Amino acid sequence: MTSYVDSTAPGEGRRAPRADLRTDAPRLSLNGRWRFRLSPTADGADGPFDDWDTIRVPAHWVLEGHGEPWYTNTAYPFPLDPPHVPNDNPTGDYRLRFDLPPHWPDTVTVLRFQGVDSCAKVWLNGTELGHSKGSRLPFEFEVTGLLHPRDNVLAVRVHRWSSGSYLEDQDMWWLPGIFRDVELLARPAGSVDDVFVHAGFADGVGTLRVDADRPGVVEIPSLSLRFDTGTEVSVEGVEPWSAESPTLYRGTLVAGGERVDLAIGFRTVSIVDGRLLVNGRPVLMRGVNRHEHDPHRGRALDLETMRRDVLLMKRHNINAVRTSHYPPHPEFLRLCDEYGLWVVDECDIETHGFAYSGWKGNPPADPAWRDALLDRARRMVERDKNHPSVIIWSLGNESDAGAAFADMEEWIRDRDPSRPIHYERDRSYRHSDFHSVMYPSLDELSAIGQRAEPAPEGVSADDAARSRTLPHLLCEYGHAMGNGPGSLADYQKILEGSDRFCGAFVWEWIDHGLWGTDADGVPYLRHGGDIDVKPNGDRFCLDGLVFADRTPSPGLIEYAKVIEPVLVDVKPSGITLRNRYDVSDLAHLRLLWTVADDGTPVASGELAVPDVPARGSASVAVPEAALAAAPGTGERWLSVRAVLAADTSWAAAGHEVAWGQGMLAVFRPPSRRANGSALSARIDPATGRLLGLGDLAISGPWLDVWRAPIENDHGHGGLNELSRAWRAVGMDRFLHRTDEVRTEDDGTVVVRVHSGPATQTLALTAEYRWAPVDDRSVHLRVRVEPVGIWDGTPIGHHSVTPPRLGLRFGLPAAIGAAEWFGRGPHESYVDSFTAARVGRFRAEVDALQTPYPVPQENGNHVETRWLRLLGAGVPRLRVTGDPHFAFTVRRWTTEDLDRAVHPQDLRPSETVWLNVDHLQQGLGSASCGPALPDRYRIPVKPYEFGVTLSVE
Ligand code: GAL
């Protein structure tokens, strides 16, 4: 039985889609508390009205105490039998009684829904208005003549599943309900319904035409312009709009007594010789994929949350957003216009789950769905066409190929020839102005940069040849799931290295975690696997650069640094500034410098900002005063920070946008030599491990090769499953056997230990040489050698390699803080340390762990020169590198971290665990992406490293 719920029809009774306009005509928000009743099937339930609950609108009912949210990645949560959905189809009946405000005009009135998931049927005062699908797109009904001054009853029946759900298989929570605003709009007689602003910019001149469905007059006071709709005017001396300099000219269109607000940004988007240009200049988008998400409210975002996203992005040097994978709330685009972000506006279409039928029945390829797909394209373009920030239309995500994309393309090109079109998944790229891929390896991306990518399978030679002429838009890379992603700097280098690239978008902006409580009432962020429904996409929704509460993760800090708009290259011979802005010079910045010895500032000052045009560079001399500072101790570093000279709309004066550092000199202290004093280390003659160091109780070291696997260690879809291979060979359970403890004539204690897992021959033998330095210090030199069969258990075609190589020590729980000189303050790894500057840092032990919502390895610090651990009532421990080491300090073991399922499972132990590592494997982004490059793994070979341990 097919009803409107499972017919492919996109809707019925709706008005034609049009622009989202702000006007001075009367408007009544119908947001607020509505009556609500949930029934198990699409038929709803009969019965009295008085037992209905109440619910807030906008919201998702599953986040308001009615049923559960449900997360899947690619799977449809119902049988793949398009366009049908099961009888079990939770259906929410919504009812609102409302009065019209006094003096509501007796004119055309429109009822608008900005977003209802997934299908709504609407009645007003008993009259059925129609229905609509297309969750993240607006729909309107004309209700003229149906309204009363008082006691109107608006009823909306919302179905969780509908034919529309087949087009909405994005990797995200299924969240039903009226989740965007509902409003009533008076349309004064003679007013315009739709407006299309055409504002271009070329050769210093703006052109402007405002089309409307009825005649009206346009006024832009700041440009002294007044002209009729439909007339094109040229405007000399306008500032063009760009993400860097988002100049908006505000004005009005007056028709039928109504004033429509206009926010005009002059800009022209073009593709010339295979490059994307805006206003005639090349642009490199440094972007993110943004889903709408709030950990309490799902996709029902308020304006402040949207603004927070925009501000956070701007403050982290992000200049572009792909609205993955649907048009966002219209206010978000207004914010992008205002604050300046390039936008790839993506249509609400994804049919990924048809992968499970081998793409049989895929809607874009089936004419029965043509109207439904076109309807979505039209509603997006009509709604968003006036935003200068929107520079590219995307036809949707991961929906394979089909004729409907040709229809959508044709319709869009006809309606809005001013913007290029993007679609990634049809490898012929026939309906796309961009070549585009997701998650390439570094090598694959380099080939794309050289327009030398291999022809995709099944694509004609002509299509392949054409696609090589297109600019490349990297729509997803850098999978930010858990700790990571690594290699952002490597990718950026490639992206900056070829003019084919117009932009890249990290996957993704925010973790989609939803607050809930565990059995003990402890609040925590839930992922798909925390809710008892099947199938579910488990933790795959936690892959953002910001945590679900919008706290920046170390990944975001790294990204901000990697894409900083000025490259500040500091060398003793001079400072080079490379301006990476596409439009701006550097006049809005100040350059502040500091010279520090081992992290302690010894001189500082300010550099004059040279005149550097967009994409240009300049050299400046190292300031005299920096060179003149008297010799000190340790490493002398010159740091130069580029900060905002004045307040902007998105950050205050002084906000840092870029920085660079270079080492000027090293002042070596006189070397300390063994003075014949006894070894301060007390070593157990049986195990060869420490019993104490001076008065400090310290245990260890244990040779440590294990890390609590990060999400990227698990790989994806059976590929790159390093963690599985590690466990198979026992990397997580090394056992140790001390073979020898002896003291040499000079007092050096030599310990030989064999460390390896049960069942395997593979092992590491280590020789530890403990040499006295003075009565408070001991030098430890470690030589490690692999023995046994390491090639036996391959991962893919690789042999197993350990995730870590270092020493683990146990310390008293009284240790409360760490101070170090090295990279910080954030955690860093071999493939993610660009944002960690060399300096002197201090942190509480509890702050040295990053609270990833799924516990995993974290808190590493590469290139540490020395570390001091301090606590009340215990001697301080100092670790000095030979020259560098990496450290991790935490109140639980790696094994505890590995076992923990949620953060609340981690409890401080009686020991503070310190890892002094020679190496730790990089992060990569194999949780959805290529294998970790070999250079970030730890080859199985002999190693030698040393540290000095001192008590202070
Ligand atoms: C892509 C997809 C995204 C997301 C991502 C992995 O294939 O477009 O929606 O699923 O992978 O997190």
Show the ligand 1 pocket: residues with CB < 6 angstroms: 73, 170-171, 325, 397-398, 438, 476, 479, 507, 540, 543, 928
Q: How many whole angstroms separate alpha carbon 432 and alpha carbon 853? A: 37
Confidence at residue 672, expressed as pLDDT on a 0 to 100 scale: 58
When pLDDT is averaged across residues 384-410 and rounded to a whole number, the result is 98
End-of-domain residue from the set 235, 270, 305? 270
Whether 383 and 330 have beta carbons less than 8 Å apart is answered as yes
Interior CA angle at 375 toward 374 and 378, to 5°? 85
Instruction: State the residue for tokens 């001013």.
Output: 418
Q: Which of 312, 543, 593 is nearest to 439 (CA)?
A: 543
Residue 79, both tokens: 């049988």
Q: How many whole angstroms separate alpha carbon 495 and alpha carbon 362? A: 34
Q: CA torsion 225→231→235→239, rounded to 10°?
A: 90
Res. 797: pLDDT tops 60: no
Q: Answer positive or negative: Cα dihedral of 920, 921, 925, 926.
A: negative
Helix (H) or strand (E) holding 308: helix 303-315
φ, ψ (nearest 5 deg) of residue 917: -105, 145
For residue 277, the cross-strand partners are: 270, 282
Q: How many whole angstroms separate alpha carbon 267 and alpha carbon 547? A: 34
Res. 73: pLDDT tops 80: yes
Cα 282 to middle of ligand 1, angstroms = 28
φ, ψ (nearest 5 deg) of residue 693: -130, 110
171, 397, 512: residue to mutate for ligand 1 pocket, most atoms within 8 A of CB: 171
Cα 171 to middle of ligand 1, angstroms = 6
The amino acid present at 338, given as its one-letter code, is E
Q: How many whole angstroms separate alpha carbon 315 and alpha carbon 273? A: 33
Question: Among 46-55, 595-604, 633-642, where is mean pLDDT lowest?
Answer: 46-55
To the nearest whole number, what is the mean pLDDT of the chain? Answer: 96
CATH number of the CATH domain containing 221 = 2.60.40.10
Rounded to whole angstroms, the maximal C-alpha distance in the chain is: 105
User: Is position 532 within any domain?
Assistant: yes
CB within 8 Å of 752: residues ≥ 6 apart: 688, 738, 739, 740, 741, 765, 766, 767, 768
When pLDDT is averaged across residues 245-270 and rounded to a whole number, the result is 97
Q: In this structure, are 266 and 394 located in the same domain?
A: no
Cα 117 to middle of ligand 1, angstroms = 21
Residue 565, both tokens: 């708009």
Portion of the chain with pLDDT greater than 90, in percent: 95
User: Is position 674 within any domain?
Assistant: no
User: Is position 71 within any domain?
Assistant: yes
End-of-domain residue from the set 612, 636, 667? 667
Q: In this structure, are 325 and 222 located in the same domain?
A: no
Confidence at residue 669, expressed as pLDDT on a 0 to 100 scale: 72
Q: How many whole angstroms separate alpha carbon 430 and alpha carbon 440? A: 21
Question: Among 15-19, 292-296, 346-350, 757-761, where is mean pLDDT lowest?
Answer: 757-761
User: Is position 341 within any domain?
Assistant: yes
Burial group, residue 33, by CB count within 10 angstroms (0-12, 13-18, 19+): exposed
Q: How many whole angstroms separate alpha carbon 156 and alpha carbon 755? A: 67
> Around Cβ 656, how many Cβ atoms within 10 Å?
16
3-class SS of residue 388: coil
Question: Among 114-123, 220-229, 666-675, where is mean pLDDT lowest?
Answer: 666-675
When pLDDT is averaged across residues 108-112 and rounded to a whole number, the result is 98
- DSSP designation for 519: T
User: Is position 672 within any domain?
Assistant: no
Interior CA angle at 351 toward 349 and 356, to 5°? 170
Helix (H) or strand (E) holding 442: helix 442-449
Res. 799: pLDDT tops 90: no
Q: In this structure, are 406 and 546 located in the same domain?
A: yes
For residue 604, the cross-strand partners are: 594
CATH number of the CATH domain containing 38 = 2.60.120.260
Helix (H) or strand (E) holding 412: helix 403-415
Q: In this structure, are 408 and 532 located in the same domain?
A: yes
Cα 559 to middle of ligand 1, angstroms = 19
73, 481, 510: residue to mutate for ligand 1 pocket, most atoms within 8 A of CB: 73
Range 328-334 contact pairs with CB under 8 angstroms and sequence separation of 24 or more = 328/136, 328/290, 328/292, 329/114, 329/115, 329/180, 329/292, 329/301, 330/20, 330/114, 330/138, 330/383, 330/384, 331/303, 331/306, 332/292, 332/301, 332/306, 333/384, 333/387, 333/389, 333/390, 334/263, 334/387
Q: In this structure, are 334 and 262 located in the same domain?
A: no
CATH number of the CATH domain containing 292 = 3.20.20.80
Q: In this structure, are 613 and 718 located in the same domain?
A: no
Q: How many whole angstroms separate alpha carbon 916 and alpha carbon 945? A: 11
Question: What is the SS3 assignment for 130-142?
Answer: EEEECCCCCEEEE
Q: Which of 584, 604, 615, 943 is nearest to 765 (CA)?
A: 943
Res. 675: pLDDT tops 80: no
Which residue has the CA at smallest separation from atom 11 of ligand 1? 928
- DSSP designation for 904: G
Q: Using pLDDT thresholds of 50, 70 and 90, give the confidence band for residue 51.
A: confident
Whether 855 and 777 have beta carbons less than 8 Å apart is answered as no
Nearest ligand 1 atom, CA 928 = 6
Q: How many whole angstroms separate alpha carbon 417 and alpha carbon 516? A: 47
Write the pLDDT tens digit of every residue in 186-207.
Answer: 999 999 999 999 999 999 999 9
End-of-domain residue from the set 270, 298, 320? 270
User: Is position 228 within any domain?
Assistant: yes
Question: How much of the chain is helix, strand and coil, in % rounded to 5?
Answer: 15, 40, 45
- DSSP designation for 47: S
Q: How far is CA 808 from the centre of its chain?
A: 33
User: Annotated active-site positions, please?
Assistant: 398, 476
Portion of the chain with pLDDT greater than 70, in percent: 98
Nearest ligand 1 atom, CA 481 = 12
Q: Using pLDDT thresholds of 50, 70 and 90, give the confidence band for residue 717.
A: very high
In 275-431, at which residue ranges do the beta strands (DSSP E only) sit? 275-278, 281-282, 285-289, 320-322, 342-346, 390-394, 421-422
φ, ψ (nearest 5 deg) of residue 489: -65, -40
Res. 929: pLDDT tops 60: yes
Which residue has the CA at smallest separation from atom 4 of ligand 1? 171
Res. 476: pLDDT tops 60: yes
Confidence at residue 307, expressed as pLDDT on a 0 to 100 scale: 98
When pLDDT is averaged across residues 177-183 and rounded to a whole number, the result is 98
Distance between first and last Cα of the chain: 81
437, 438, 475, 476: residue to mutate for ligand 1 pocket, most atoms within 8 A of CB: 476
Confidence at residue 13, expressed as pLDDT on a 0 to 100 scale: 98
User: Is position 787 within any domain?
Assistant: yes
Q: How many whole angstroms separate alpha carbon 406 and alpha carbon 408? A: 5
Confidence at residue 44, expressed as pLDDT on a 0 to 100 scale: 80
Q: In this structure, are 237 and 288 located in the same domain?
A: no
For residue 130, the cross-strand partners are: 122
For residue 769, the cross-strand partners are: 750, 781
Residue 787, both tokens: 């023995």
For 180, what's the count of Cα atoms within 13 Å in the CB-facing half-sphere?
A: 24
Q: Which of 529, 478, 484, 548 is nearest to 857 (CA)?
A: 484
Confidence at residue 2, expressed as pLDDT on a 0 to 100 scale: 66
Cα 504 to middle of ligand 1, angstroms = 14
Whether 882 and 865 have beta carbons less than 8 Å apart is answered as no
Which structural domain, as residue segments, surrounds residue 261? Answer: 195-270
Res. 363: pLDDT tops 90: yes
Cα 832 to middle of ligand 1, angstroms = 22
User: Is position 615 within any domain?
Assistant: yes
Would you say the pTM of this structure is higher than 0.85?
A: yes
Residue 391, both tokens: 């520079």
Q: How many whole angstroms separate alpha carbon 889 and alpha carbon 879? A: 13
Number of DSSP helices (H) and strands (E) in the chain, helices first: 11, 56
Q: In this structure, are 425 and 281 located in the same domain?
A: yes
Instruction: State the residue for tokens 């390895």.
Output: 857
DSSP letters, 164-198, are GGGGB--SEEE--EE-S-EEEEEE-TT--S-EEEE
Q: In this structure, are 427 and 451 located in the same domain?
A: yes
When pLDDT is averaged across residues 261-277 and rounded to a whole number, the result is 98
Q: How many whole angstroms separate alpha carbon 354 and alpha carbon 74? A: 9
Write the pLDDT tens digit of every residue in 800-853.
Answer: 999 999 999 999 999 999 999 999 999 999 999 999 999 999 999 999 999 999
Res. 468: pLDDT tops 70: yes
Whether 816 and 844 have beta carbons less than 8 Å apart is answered as yes
Q: In this structure, are 589 and 548 located in the same domain?
A: no
Residue 531, both tokens: 């809710």
Residue 98, both tokens: 């409302």
When pLDDT is averaged across residues 896-901 and rounded to a whole number, the result is 98
Write the pLDDT tens digit of every residue in 624-674.
Answer: 999 998 889 899 999 999 999 999 999 999 999 999 999 999 998 766 555
Write the pLDDT tens digit of every residue in 224-237.
Answer: 999 999 999 999 99
Q: Please tell me the total count of domains within the chain.
A: 5
Q: In this structure, are 485 and 584 located in the same domain?
A: no
When pLDDT is averaged across residues 342-362 and rounded to a whole number, the result is 98
Q: Answer positive or negative: Cα dihedral of 295, 297, 299, 303.
A: negative
Q: In this structure, are 244 and 331 located in the same domain?
A: no
CATH number of the CATH domain containing 837 = 2.70.98.10
The amino acid present at 31, given as its one-letter code, is N
Q: How many whole angstroms separate alpha carbon 304 and alpha carbon 310? A: 10
3-class SS of residue 201: strand
Helix (H) or strand (E) holding 158: strand 152-159
Write the pLDDT tens digit of every residue in 538-591.
Answer: 999 999 999 999 999 999 999 999 999 999 999 999 999 999 999 999 999 999
- DSSP designation for 67: S
Whether 71 and 121 have beta carbons less than 8 Å apart is answered as no
CB within 8 Å of 84: residues ≥ 6 apart: 2, 6, 163
Which residue has the CA at smallest separation from atom 3 of ligand 1? 171
Which residue has the CA at smallest separation from atom 10 of ligand 1? 171
Sheet holding 27-29, edge to edge: 27-29, 182-187, 108-113, 139-142
